Structure 1
């Protein structure tokens, strides 16, 4: 079986990708972007509440996003998106919305949040854009 060389574990595929941020970091960045659209400024306490985590965890992860150049953040201050953070955050929101729309359509349901949260980090951008095209044509 020559195709066996192409199979990896999920961790193996993750290691092959040269991703800048982890799935958890994506969740935080997506929420920061979502909150940014709703109101400004974004505070750690609010971010923690929205993601159901402790403020200390939100603060630590925001520090990691800052190291990656995706947010600006000072301790006890507000979180703002850098230009790169806004660009990536907008894509993460887009991806989330496309997948939510898709799963709601195929499952004939109005809320597929849990399913989207479980799969959104593992889907290729090209597939997201192709799902969007499909939805525009058929849904």
Structure 2
């Protein structure tokens, strides 16, 4: 029995390492936050400005400019200083994916009794860290539970 515990701890440590290594290789959580905010601003206002992004993410304007330059270099946004910000096809895909992930997670959390504000706040943190297969299973569960009338 003690051997099994050691193996589980070792597996857990490997999982932590693998998750952190995968995160470093992929887009960062911060990049995804920027893309999601830009997407939401464009959906609601028709455009996004550095001032809007700065306000919603509670970061300085120079930080926004620096990230927009990174996102432009990575092919996620079209950004010219003082000209405006638009998402590229790749940027829209990432932002829409984050938007959809957030929706599934918030809906699940509300199904189990979490209030809407807390569900949205928690979903914002969780959405970046779930494996796509986990999210797919969670989405299937939400649909099944709704179809069976278990939750509203």
TM over 0.5: same fold? yes
* 2:121 equivalent in structure 1: 114
Task: After the TM superposition, list the runs of 4 or more consecutive aligned residues in structure 1 that deviate by more than 6 angstroms.
Answer: none
Report the CA distance shift for 1:33/1:11 in structure 2 as closer, same or farther (over 3 A): farther
* 2:3 equivalent in structure 1: none
1:130 aligns with 2:137: yes
TM-score by length of 2: 0.80
Compare 66-75 and 46-55 and name the one that shifted more.
46-55
The correspondence for 1:59, drawn from 54, 65, 69, is: 65
TM-score by length of 1: 0.87
Higher-Rg structure is 2
Query: How far 1:110 moved relative to its partner?
Result: 2.1
Number of residue pairs matched by the alignment: 139
Query: How far 1:122 moved relative to its partner?
Result: 0.9
The correspondence for 1:91, drawn from 93, 97, 105, is: 97
**Residue aligned with 1:7, SS:** helix
**Residue aligned with 1:121, SS:** coil
Runs (5+) with no aligned partner, structure 2:
1-5, 146-150
Pairing of 1:16-55 with structure 2 (within 5 A): 16=22, 19-55=25-61
Query: How far 1:133 moved relative to its partner?
Result: 1.5
Pairing of 1:62-73 with structure 2 (within 5 A): 62-73=68-79
Query: How far 1:31 moved relative to its partner?
Result: 0.8
* 2:19 equivalent in structure 1: 13
What's the C-alpha RMSD, in Å, of the aligned pairs? 2.0
- CA–CA distance in 1 between the matches of 2:14 and 2:105? 24
**Residue aligned with 2:36, SS:** helix
Compare 33-42 and 20-29 and name the one that shifted more.
33-42
The correspondence for 2:88, drawn from 82, 89, 93, is: 82
